[in-house]
């Protein structure tokens, strides 16, 4: 067995070891077909079976109600920053955004290219350390939608519950926390997520869209960037990213075996609880970045007394087999990304390392 690191990468991120081993077993010849899954037509029965099953698993695990399409797209969540306004932002309406951090800001900047936008609420004045309260959100009457970033991967904040937007469609970027807990899809008009944090490898983006939002965009939109194109063809308009969808299929089967969304949520709570307890119990040696009520169960961000000490932490942890703990270059500090596939034992090992590091340097 290869020597596996304690992988706390932010994305692409850890995959379940069982999934990697299954993919390895099936890599050269897929289920008696005489070839690899990557060597066969996306129009053939074998690939189509994988494709349909992946959609069914997502529907089951996320409890997707009737009236929603599940799409497999390319271009990452970053392409959704454009597709959402291109398809949904009509003249005379405004795209409303909650500015919670780095990813929300990118979504807003992109939307500005396509129409009128407004910041319905923001925590910028608090360095994005918190998620605004529902009461802070000012939604204009002519809002086309309200866009929220469910989990700010870089700052380490997460919505505990989503705002009620009435008849205005709520749109969620769930790239870094999709399937970390049960989801009430019916609260949303559209959710999207790049797969490479919680669902699989990079290369496929999941979009779940309410059918009434699929209609005709107001302006000219390239065929590939219209939701309608992919909704009408079960995401088989052109060649889909077959390998990424196949890997996502294996990850979803694995999630199901863990007890589904509720099962992984229990473990996620335990993992995050261990890390936040280590931070809060360190007498100020470790300082959590996010405000307590806005803390993410997926990305745990923290700082030390000096950048010097943070560098030392990153270096020593790496030497001991931990990977990916350095914070994003835009905010500094340290970050442990503990997506679904990060085992509880690895979090325990990190907590031990943190305690040891604090004793030696406190
Ligand atoms: C990683 C991430 C993105 C960008 O995803 P790409 O697939 O690389 O475009 C967008 N939003 C959030 C919340 C992310 O974590």
User: How much is the pLDDT for 329?
Assistant: 86
pLDDT for the residue numbered 1: 54
Give the whole-angstrom CA distance, residue 299 versus residue 89. Answer: 31
Mean pLDDT value across residues 49-62: 98
Per the structure block, which two tokens stand in for 66? 């009737």
| Rg of the chain in Å (alpha carbons) | 21
CATH code where residue 345 lies = 3.90.1150.10
298 shares a domain with 204: no
Mutational pocket test of ligand 1: of 12, 176, 201, the residue with most ligand atoms within 8 Å of the beta carbon? 176
Residue 197 annotated as catalytic: yes
pLDDT bin (cut points 50, 70, 90) of residue 63 is very high
For residue 6, is it within any domain?
A: no
Instruction: Work out which ligand 1 atom sits closest to the CA atom of 11.
Output: 1
Of 106, 89, 99, whose CA–CA distance to 143 is shortest? Answer: 89
Q: What tens digit of pLDDT does each residue of 88-127 get?
A: 999 999 999 999 999 999 999 999 999 999 999 999 999 9
Would residue 177 show up in a list of annotated catalytic residues for this protein? no
Domain tally, the chain = 2
Looking at residue 330, its pLDDT comes to 83
Q: What confidence score (pLDDT) does residue 238 get?
A: 98
Binding residues for L-glutamate: 43
Closest CA to ligand 1's atom 1: 175
In a domain, 32, yes or no: yes
Residue 263: the pLDDT is 98
| Average pLDDT, rounded, for the chain | 97
Which of 10, 11, 107 maximizes ligand 1 atoms within 8 Å of its Cβ, making it the mutation to test the pocket? 11
pLDDT band at residue 2 under the 50/70/90 scheme: low
Determine the distance separating the centroid of ligand 1 and the alpha carbon of 356, expressed in angstroms: 33
pLDDT of residue 4: 93
- Of all protein residues, the one whose alpha carbon is nearest to atom 12 of ligand 1 is 175
Which pLDDT score, from 0 to 100, does residue 50 have?
A: 98
If you take atom 8 of ligand 1, which residue's CA is the nearest one? 76
pLDDT band at 39 (very low <50, low <70, confident <90, very high): very high
Residue 28: what pLDDT?
Answer: 97
pLDDT of residue 255: 98
The H or E element that residue 50 is part of is helix 45-61
Return the closest-CA partner of residue 151 out of 87, 113, 194: 194
The verdict on residue 2 lying in a domain is no
Q: Do the domain assignments include residue 137?
A: yes
**Shared-domain flag, residues 136 and 185:** yes
Same-domain pairing of 208 and 355: no
pLDDT digits (tens, 9 = 90+) for 185-221: 999 999 999 999 999 999 999 999 999 999 889 889 9
Q: Which residues line ligand 1 (CB under 6 A)?
A: 11, 76-78, 103, 149, 153, 173, 175-176, 194, 197
Residue 300 in this model has a pLDDT that exceeds 60 = yes
Spell 216-237 as b/e; 16+ CB within 10 A means b: ebbeebeeebbbbbbbeebbeb
What does the DSSP assignment read for 141-195? TTEEEEEEESEETTTTEE-SSPPP-TTSPEEEE-TTTTTSS---GGG-SEEEEET
Among 69, 129, 159, 173, the active-site one is: 173
Ligand 1 nearest-atom number relative to CA 196: 7
* 5 inside domain: no
The residue out of 227, 257, 287 marking a domain boundary is: 257
**208 and 153 both lie in a single domain:** yes
pTM confidence score: 0.98
The pLDDT of 42-61, averaged and rounded, is 98
- Pick the catalytic residue from 69, 129, 197, 326: 197
- CB of 298 closer than 8 Å to CB of 176: yes
Where in the sequence is the domain holding 23, given as residue range(s)? 18-257
Say if residues 260 and 66 touch (Cβ distance below 8 Å).
Answer: no
Reply yes or no on whether 173 is catalytic: yes
């Amino acid at each position: 067995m290869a020597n596996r690191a304690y992988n706390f990468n932010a994305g692409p991120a850890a995959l379940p070891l069982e999934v990697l081993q299954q993919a390895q077993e099936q890599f050269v010849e897929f289920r008696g077909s005489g070839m690899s899954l990557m060597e066969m037509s996306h129009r053939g029965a074998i690939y189509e079976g994988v494709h349909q099953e992946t959609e069914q698993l997502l529907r089951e695990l996320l409890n997707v109600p009737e009236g929603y399409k599940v799409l497999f797209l390319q271009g990452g969540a970053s392409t959704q920053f454009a597709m959402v306004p291109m398809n949904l932002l009509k003249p005379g309406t405004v795209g409303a955004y909650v500015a919670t951090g780095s990813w929300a800001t990118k979504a807003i900047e992109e939307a500005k290219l396509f129409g009128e936008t407004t910041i319905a609420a923001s925590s910028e004045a608090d360095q994005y350390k918190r998620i605004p309260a529902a009461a802070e959100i000012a939604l204009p009457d002519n809002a086309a939608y309200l866009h929220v970033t469910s989990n700010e991967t870089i700052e380490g904040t997460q919505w505990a519950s989503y705002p009620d937007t009435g008849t205005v469609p709520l749109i969620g970027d769930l790239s870094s926390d999709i399937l970390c807990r049960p989801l009430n899809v019916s609260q949303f008009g559209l959710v999207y997520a790049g797969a490479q944090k919680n669902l699989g490898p990079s290369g496929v983006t999941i979009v779940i869209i309410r059918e009434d939002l699929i209609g005709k965009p107001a302006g000219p939109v390239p065929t590939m960037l219209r939701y309608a194109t992919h909704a009408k063809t079960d995401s088989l308009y052109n060649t889909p990213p077959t390998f990424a969808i196949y890997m996502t299929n294996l990850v979803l089967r694995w999630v199901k075996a863990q007890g589904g969304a509720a099962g992984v949520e229990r473990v996620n709570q335990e993992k995050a609880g261990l890390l936040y307890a280590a931070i809060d119990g360190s007498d100020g040696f470790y300082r959590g970045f996010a405000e307590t009520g806005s803390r993410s169960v997926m990305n745990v961000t923290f700082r030390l007394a000096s950048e010097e000490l943070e560098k030392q932490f990153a270096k020593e942890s790496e030497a001991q087999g931990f990977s990916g703990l350095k914070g994003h270059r835009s905010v500094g500090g340290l970050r442990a990304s503990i997506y679904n596939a990060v085992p509880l034992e690895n979090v325990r090992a990190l907590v031990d390392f943190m305690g040891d590091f604090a004793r030696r340097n406190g």
